[in-house]
Structure 1
Amino acid sequence: MLARQRQEVILDEVRRTGAVQVGDLVLRLGVSDMTIRRDLDALARRGLVEKVYGGATSVIGRSTDEPGFEAKSVRQLAEKEAIAALAAQQVQPGTAIGLSAGTTTWTMARHLDDVADLTAVTNSVRVADALQRRGRTDRTVVLTGGVRTPSDALVGPVAVQALRSLHLDMVFLGVHGMAPRAGFTTPNLNEGETNRALAEAAGRLVVVADSSKWSTVGISTIVDFDEVDLLISDQGLPAEARQLLGEHLDLELADPEGAEEESVRRGTVEGL
């Protein structure tokens, strides 16, 4: 098992139980005590766990906590890959789309290599790089300006001004959290404003968010559930979340194991 895979397992266990012990992880993962301690050191440097004697505990989340891009990139890898692949199927040749900053939208961008005659607008240098990696001559990538956040989004008045003049066929929005009453949120006020401008440019708005985002609340609401046309998540989404979300928007659940996705259309349940 690679270091990133081990660290994802450790993060999942910390989120599930609130704490882990080195000895338990040694037995579970079949590696040395020193290897586990190095993994915990790496996670602690990224602000994902708090090291304690003999193990690590969860970091108590606040509505303004904003993990960096590298920190988020080790989380829910299989889920993000499945969500990204499913989201990419929504994109048709010859369309104009928007992609917000984030590790899920960045993963999605790498699934768009074969889409012809695509125009893409993003406020993320990493997403822009992923869109241009194959050097297609029939592709236009527009990168907004702005101030860079810890999660590598370009935000603020420059980005907002650029986005408010656009009209896009579809926008794919990554989020920090999703919860009843709060809707889809971010921990960065400037990013909230920028993402709202991006959402307002959309003919069809699609949120891409793995199930770990459920019940997480950032300080700034980007959009409410009713403002979103489609949410693409994964099958780890709790039943109560599926029911609630299905009353407001269309929902597709990707399967990281490769099985067919499940769909919830507003007012009806398909495949559940």
Structure 2
Amino acid sequence: MRRTLLVVVVLAATTAGCATSGSVRKVESDVGSLRSDVAALRHAHDSHADDTRRTSTELRAIEERMRELTASIARASEAVARLDARLSEVEAAVKQMRSALAERPAPAPATAPPPPPVAERPREAPARPGAAEASYGAALATFRAREHGQAVLEFLDFLTRYPRHPLAANAQYWIGEAYFAQRDYRQALAEFQKVLEMASPNGKTADALLKIGMCHANLRDAGRAQQAWERVVRDYPRSEAATKARSFLRARSTAAPR
């Protein structure tokens, strides 16, 4: 473009002596047009360069953001994988512990050399008196500390060791309470039912019936809840559980549509 402008100027200079005034004006006009074209081209080139720089900057920013997001996703995936692995380990440990507790036989009585005739020697006292009560008390303390999962394991251990102990029904009841506290109402219902199936009478039957009704209520089975509470009132009318059952029945009667 500069060469073209130079040629035009030279031609204008060489012909200036013989050119008419009209020719001079035309040449000047052409030169002005060429200058305008050159200026426009420069402006367009500069604008294009600015756009290119902006686009390059934006692309670099996007690429950097994508790298950051990719790294974040990778870190999150690793964390999830670690949590899954840890959860699997915990579940396996709990399952193994349950199996061990279920398969553990009741401790055999301590063997001793054959004694003299029974009539000549009194029966030996059992070893470690109060061990069962201590085990039950420790499990109950764990429950009251709101460590419900651990409390279930400790009560199961108690039942495995002392299945015929007078506190066995109580231990079974507290297993149900532990699941109820965790809002696992179906499992709690199954555990409270076991209290009713144990050798009767036991001091937790009325309480277990009351809780059975509450489990049914939380599972939206109002009919069975009412049946359980009515049984508490009928079979154990003087119990504290019966007082609560009457309260539940009155509330249900008041809430029922008329």
Task: Give your verdict on TM over 0.5.
Answer: no
User: Which has the larger share of helix?
Assistant: 2
Report the TM-score, using the length of structure 1 for normalisation. 0.22
Higher RCO, 1 or 2 (CA under 8 Å, sep at least 6)?
1
Report the TM-score, using the length of structure 2 for normalisation. 0.23
